[in-house]
Amino acid sequence: MNSTSSCRPEKRLRPPFFYSSVMIPGVEFDVELQAGKTAAHIIAIFNAKSDEDYLKIEASIDDSGRLNDKTESYPIDKFESLLRRINLSVILIARQHSGFNGNQRSRSLGKAADNAIDLYRCGCIDALEYDSSKIQGILQGELAELDLPDRMVMGSD
């Protein structure tokens, strides 16, 4: 590609977007929060500061039994044990496909636990992931009614 090409990233992106060479150590987990319920999709963002931290995350997952099938999930006690073994600060972001009172799709926090709001309220779940501005508005309204902060991340796999 020559230097006059219009496909150069710096020509397409505008602030506040930027490129970074920093790798964020995030791992996606499916976790069974409540017996008999579907698993919740939870993203764990670890505060890894060194190569040793990255290796510790990987080794801990391997030692706990890496899940290779999309239908598998970690029971909550095994997930908590894994996080303790990794022993790094972590932010947990749970998938939420709709409002808590709406039609819950699989892998949503609201479908995975009867006490989903309480898990968010007490800080067991740090933030919610959604994939549309419509869901963002619904969640913001529900959380405002409960006098809870709207800690959310827009994302999609």
Contact of 104 with 82, CB cutoff 8 Å:
no
Whether 17 shows a pLDDT value over 80: the answer reads no
Joined together, the tokens standing for residue 97 give 């496909």
Confidence of residue 8 (pLDDT cuts 50, 70, 90): very low
pLDDT of residue 54: 92
Whether 71 shows a pLDDT value over 50: the answer reads yes
Joined together, the tokens standing for residue 119 give 């898990």
The mean-pLDDT minimum among 14-18, 27-31, 49-53, 122-126 falls in 14-18
Average pLDDT rounded to a whole number, residues 94-119: 84
Joined together, the tokens standing for residue 125 give 């779940």
pTM of the full structure: 0.80
Query: DSSP letters along the chain, please?
Result: --TT-TT-HHHH--TT-----PPP-EEEEEEE-STTSPPEEEEEEE---SHHHHHHHHHHHHHH----STT--EEHHHHHHHHHHH-S-EEEEEE-SS-TTS-PPTB-HHHH-TTHHHHHHTTSS-EEEESSHHHHHHHHHHHHHTT----EEE---
